[in-house]
Every structure is written in C-alpha cells, then in structure tokens.
Amino acid sequence: MVPPADGRGVLVYCEVEGGRLAPLALEVLGVGRRLASALGQELGAVLIGEGVAPLASEVIVHGADKVYVGEAGLLCEYVLELYLPVVEEAIEQAQPAILLFGHTLVGRELAPWTAFRRGVVASMDCVALEIDPHTKRLLMTRPVYGGNAQAVQVSMGDPQVATVRAKTMAPAVKDHGRYGQVVELKAGGRLPAPRVKVLERKAEPGTRVKLEEARVVVAGGRGIGSASGFKQLEELAGLLGGAVGATRPPCDAKWAKESQQIGITGRIVGPELYIAVALSGASQHLAGCSAAKVIVAINKDPEANIFHVVDYGIADDWKAVVPALLSCLRARTDKETEGIWR
Ligand SMILES: Cc1cc2nc3c(=O)[nH]c(=O)nc-3n(C[C@H](O)[C@H](O)[C@H](O)COP(=O)(O)OP(=O)(O)OC[C@H]3O[C@@H](n4cnc5c(N)ncnc54)[C@H](O)[C@@H]3O)c2cc1C
C-alpha cells in the first residue's frame, strides 16, 4: 500500500553557476512548478552560496512561492559537507512531499546523501515526473538496463527525492507578476569546520560549449582512429555551435578527453541534434544520448546497431562524409547553418 503524500509541497534545489542560475535549475523549477500546481501545494526553492540572495527574485519570477536562502562566505564553492546541512535546514522548514535536484555533478552527490540522511531513497536521472492522480504520489520515470528500458518508480517514504536529467523537462516560464517569500536560513551558524578547501577553479581549455548544455553534439567512436580525426569533429561541432563527445574507446586511447565520454559511465546529454560518427551504438553509450531529439549516424557498416536508433543514417566512411559536410558548412553563414538543423 503506497502512503499518501503528506508533505507541504515541492522543494527544488536551484544550482548557481558563476553567480547565475544554472540552466538546469530553470528546468527543475519548471517541473517543480508543474508538480506543485498538480498537488495544489507550494513550490519552495533552495539557493545556497555566497552572494546568491539577489537571485531569489529571479527564482520567484520562475515559479517559486518561497525561496530558502543559505548565504555564507564559506559556501562560496560547493562542498558536500557544507551544503548538506543547509539543504537539511531548508527541508526541516519546508517539510516537502517532493524534493528535486538537477542531475549534475552536484545533484548526483547531494540527492542521495540527503535521501540517505532522511531514510528514503533517491530516484536518479529521471526523464519524466508526474503526479499519480489517485495516490498523489510522484511517478518517477528513469532509464534502466543501460537505457534499453524505462522504469516508473514510486517512493514509499517522504520526501520523495529525484534528480532530473538535463533537457528532458520544459524550463520554467518567466512571470514578472509573481510574488513570493524569501526565508533566510541560519546557514552560517550550522556549518561544520570544512575539511576540504577549493583553492582554484580552472576551466577546461578549449571548452566553448558545455557538453550537457549543447544543442548539437558531435560524438566520435573508435572508428575515428586518431586524435587528428577528432580535430575534424571539433571543426564540425564548432561550425554547428555544438560540442564534441566520444565513446569510451577514444577516451581510453586519449584521442578525446575523459570528460567527453558519453554514456552510462560518462556524461548524459540531451541535445536537439546528435551526430554519431564511427561508433557502433553500444547500449552503454546510448544510455547517455537517448534523450537527443534527432540522431544522425555515420557508419560504414550498414548493420551497425546505431542504425536501429537513428532518425537519419549515412552508411559510409566518415572520412568521406565529414570533410564533405565541413566544406558545405564552411561556405555558409552562421544564420544559414543554424537553419540546417532547426
Ligand atoms: C561497465 C561498462 C561501462 C561502459 N560505459 C561506457 C560509456 O559510458 N560510454 C561508452 O561509449 N562506452 C561505454 N562502455 C563501452 C561500450 O560497451 C562499448 O565498448 C563502446 O561504447 C564501443 O565504442 P565504439 O562504438 O566507439 O566502438 P566500436 O563498438 O568498436 O564501434 C566502432 C564503429 O566504428 C565504425 N567504423 C570504423 N571505421 C569507420 C569509418 N572509417 N567510417 C565509418 N564508420 C567506421 C565501425 O563500423 C563500428 O561500428 C562501457 C562498457 C562497460 C562494460
């Protein structure tokens, strides 16, 4: 017997990046608003960091009824042991039925820790979230078996904790007429002495567009054969305003960076266009790109598994296809190029 939801609405963790709300935070706010409205309850949001208080009004404009703000100098960088007690303070105040995080490096750590501390489970990497109209419990859909199937899970405890996969849910719609309440958390007073100190942050060189946020991803596989082959994919992605990803073998061979690996043990992406070049379509890879809106594959083996999941396939040698695409794209203006895949 599934217990009815008895909390007070939905609470979402809003990640801040470089002093701004992270793109996924807007998506989490969007789904949070929808679920709170379906329950007829309140949407709360948690903001943590140094100097994040001014973002509260933006969070309210994007659908929150109440914003719990944890401000302290010590919180200038994400450190689990510092952020966890602040999230817990917000939970104690809000007593939510549902608690959502983005499925980012931060959310992937904070969500299971928070759930563990409250004696519940976290459903990770959800691609759909709905309220069951009968039980009012949260139906959490997530890919399983390396993306070959989807499971719908219901949590037996409260809060029902889930992380949200990027690009799977509509971002919150701005409404400047909205008003809400800001609650200051006593963050500073509760923080333990940190055992970890962030000394420096270095952006990965050559990263124009973040893989998870890219609208176009060009992913290369073992068939690319060399680091110089990946340079051609870089140019292709650059011309399309996208990012380059890879399967595991090119990362192992150092043709691509480890951070470019897409799949069950790598990044999860959900671009509008995914160009899979010289990769076979192993389930462990597809688990990371199945949310792509349109998939195009270039593979010289017409029997390759990737052709079972594509929208468009080119059964040919990438060394013929990619240079042809490049010369076609180089001749176009940025505006025309955007029009190609939109
Ligand atoms: C526990 C576990 C976790 C894993 N996690 C991941 C993960 O997160 N991400 C991931 O990607 N993999 C992961 N793997 C590895 C995965 O199982 C596959 O081995 C891997 O994805 C295969 O990569 P690939 O498609 O590039 O290589 P292959 O399977 O070798 O395919 C290469 C393809 O390139 C084509 N090709 C070759 N030359 C050309 C050419 N000139 N032009 C066009 N096509 C060409 C071939 O026809 C072939 O289809 C994991 C494996 C395990 C066991």
Residue of the CA atom closest to atom 14 of ligand 1: 284
CB-ligand 1 contact for 91 (6 Å cutoff): no
Q: How many domains does the chain contain in total? A: 2
Name the pTM for this structure: 0.80
Q: What is the pLDDT of residue 6?
A: 54
- CATH number of the domain where residue 301 is located: 3.40.50.1220
CB of 334 shorter than 6 A to ligand 1: no
Residues 176 and 47 in one domain: yes
Predicted local distance difference test score (pLDDT) of residue 253: 98
140 plus 233 within the same structural domain: no
Residue 196, domain member (yes or no): no
Check whether residue 168 and residue 41 sit in a common domain. yes
Q: Is the pLDDT of residue 142 over 90?
A: yes
- At residue 184, what are phi and psi to the nearest 5 degrees? -85, 130
- Residue among 258, 264, 275, 317 whose CB has most ligand 1 atoms within 8 A, to mutate: 264
Distance between CA atoms of 237 and 159, rounded to whole angstroms?
A: 41
pLDDT in tens, 42-85: 999 999 999 999 999 999 999 999 999 999 988 999 999 999 99
Both 33 and 139 in one domain: the answer is yes
Per-residue DSSP letter, 222: G
**Tens digit of pLDDT for each residue in 198-225?**
888 877 766 667 888 899 999 999 999 9
Section 286-294 average pLDDT: 89
Give the range with max mean pLDDT: 167-181, 182-196, 198-212.
167-181
* CB of 13 closer than 6 angstroms to any ligand 1 atom: no
**Spatial distance between the Cα atoms of 107 and 117, rounded to a whole number of angstroms:** 15
Residue 3 has pLDDT above 60, yes or no: no
Query: What pLDDT, on the 0 to 100 scale, is given for residue 158?
Result: 94
pLDDT of residue 338: 60
Shared domain for 119 and 259, answered yes or no, is: no
Average pLDDT, the chain: 91
Residues 35 and 120 in one domain: yes
Quick check: is 161 in a domain? Answer: yes
Choose one of 190, 222, 256: the last residue of a domain: 190
Question: For ligand 1, is residue 220 a contact (CB within 6 Å)?
Answer: no
- Percent helix / strand / coil, the chain, rounded to 5: 35, 25, 40
**Residue 146: domain span:** 10-190
- Indicate the residue among 160, 190, 220 that finishes a domain: 190
CATH of the domain at 145: 3.40.50.620
- Ligand 1 atom closest to residue 250's alpha carbon, by position in its atom list: 26
Answer yes or no: is pLDDT of 306 > 60: yes
Cα–Cα distances in Å, from 120 out to 82, 114, 158, 185, 295? 21, 9, 7, 23, 37
Q: Confirm or reject: Cβ of 248 under 6 Å from ligand 1.
A: yes
